[in-house]
């Protein structure tokens, strides 16, 4: 198991984020929003050179990149750009960064549309999985609000329907919970066989709706999830994505909290 930190939860400046993460003892990161935009889009050669140099300087590994690919409707004109430019560029960036996983989304669901996910969307994901597999990479399909993959069961059903070894699951238990799932144990059991990464964030109910809280203090059962995954030898990444305010203090507290959870789980396994 790798405990990674999504760098934009500290700063869009990767150097600043890596400095903080390594000071906590971390060496794994995920890249999502860097500089002025999402990773994988409109990155100049100079920026990429600086990015590689920064990662080498701080001796950090990139566990995943999240270019926001396919998080549009099938009939959106941007889908062509996502298929023909954004995804291929992101895959080649992953190779450059020696990153094993590229996180993608399922297309957005039209208002009122019912399951199952339509064949045209499955074909887009199958095409993407073939490209990734040819480069020895994995695509982690994320569950996202408003997409064809929002709940744990929807996410798992799409991955089964595509049926390509390179398409696996990046699971956000908070999204599942807010969509009506119970993340533990049923949500985890639904996604576990194809799980390559899990988003570690927790939410609690406030007067104005859901808001971020420290891992384990909310409604997602993260202490049970971490204990279960460590106990059964999960080898993918746990990506810390706490979405707390203030960002730096919240990310640091969340990192320390999850480290304690994982350490306790490892000790329990050794007994």
Q: Where are the domains of the chain?
A: 2-270
Q: Report the distance separating Cα 141 and Cα 168, nearest Å.
A: 6
CATH of 2-270, one of 3.20.20.150, 2.40.10.10, 3.50.50.60, 3.20.20.70: 3.20.20.150
Q: What is the pTM of this model?
A: 0.97
Q: What pLDDT does residue 36 have?
A: 81
Q: Report the distance separating Cα 245 and Cα 107, nearest Å.
A: 30
Q: What pLDDT does residue 158 have?
A: 98
Q: Report the distance separating Cα 207 and Cα 195, nearest Å.
A: 33
Q: What pLDDT does residue 43 have?
A: 81
Q: What pLDDT does residue 270 have?
A: 84
Q: Report the distance separating Cα 77 and Cα 120, nearest Å.
A: 15
Q: What pLDDT does residue 271 have?
A: 78
Enumerate residue ranges in the chain where pLDDT < 70.
Answer: none
Contact criterion met (CB below 8 Å) for 117 and 154: yes
Q: Which two tokens stand for residue 147?
A: 């997409």
The total number of residues written for the chain in this structure: 271
CA separation, residue 195 to residues 4, 25, 192, 220, 236 (Å):
16, 25, 5, 17, 8
Contact criterion met (CB below 8 Å) for 148 and 121: yes
Query: For the CA atoms of 85, 151, 185, 264, what is the dihedral angle to 10 degrees?
Result: 40
What are residue 213's DSSP bridge partners? 202
Q: For residue range 109-124, what is the model confidence (pLDDT) as tens digits?
A: 999 999 999 999 999 9
Q: Report the distance separating Cα 250 and Cα 254, nearest Å.
A: 6
Contact criterion met (CB below 8 Å) for 68 and 24: no
Q: What pLDDT does residue 27 have?
A: 97
């Amino acid at each position: 198991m790798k405990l990674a930190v999504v760098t934009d939860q500290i700063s869009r400046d990767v150097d600043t984020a890596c400095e903080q993460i390594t000071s906590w003892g971390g060496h794994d990161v995920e890249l999502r929003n860097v500089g002025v935009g999402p990773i994988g889009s409109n990155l100049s050669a100079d920026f990429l050179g600086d990015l590689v140099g920064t990662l080498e300087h701080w001796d950090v590994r990139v566990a995943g990149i999240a270019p926001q690919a396919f998080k549009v409707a099938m009939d959106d004109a941007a889908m062509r750009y996502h298929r023909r430019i954004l995804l291929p560029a992101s895959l080649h960036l992953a190779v450059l960064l020696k990153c094993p996983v590229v996180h993608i989304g399922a297309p957005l669901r039209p208002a009122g549309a019912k399951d199952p996910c339509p064949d045209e969307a499955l074909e887009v994901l199958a095409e993407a999985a073939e490209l990734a597999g040819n480069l020895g990479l994995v695509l982690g399909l994320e569950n996202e609000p408003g997409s064809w993959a929002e709940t744990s069961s929807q996410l798992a059903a799409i991955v089964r329907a595509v049926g390509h070894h390179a398409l696996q699951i990046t699971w956000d238990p908070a999204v599942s919970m807010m969509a009506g799932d119970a993340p533990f144990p049923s949500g985890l059991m639904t996604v576990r066989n194809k799980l390559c990464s899990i988003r570690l964030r927790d939410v609690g109910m406030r007067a104005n709706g859901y808001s971020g809280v420290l891992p384990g203090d909310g409604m997602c059962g993260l202490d049970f999830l971490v204990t279960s995954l460590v106990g059964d030898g999960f080898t993918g990444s746990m990506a810390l994505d706490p979405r707390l305010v203030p960002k730096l203090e919240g990310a640091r507290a969340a990192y320390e909290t999850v480290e304690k959870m994982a350490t306790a789980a490892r000790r329990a396994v050794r007994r």
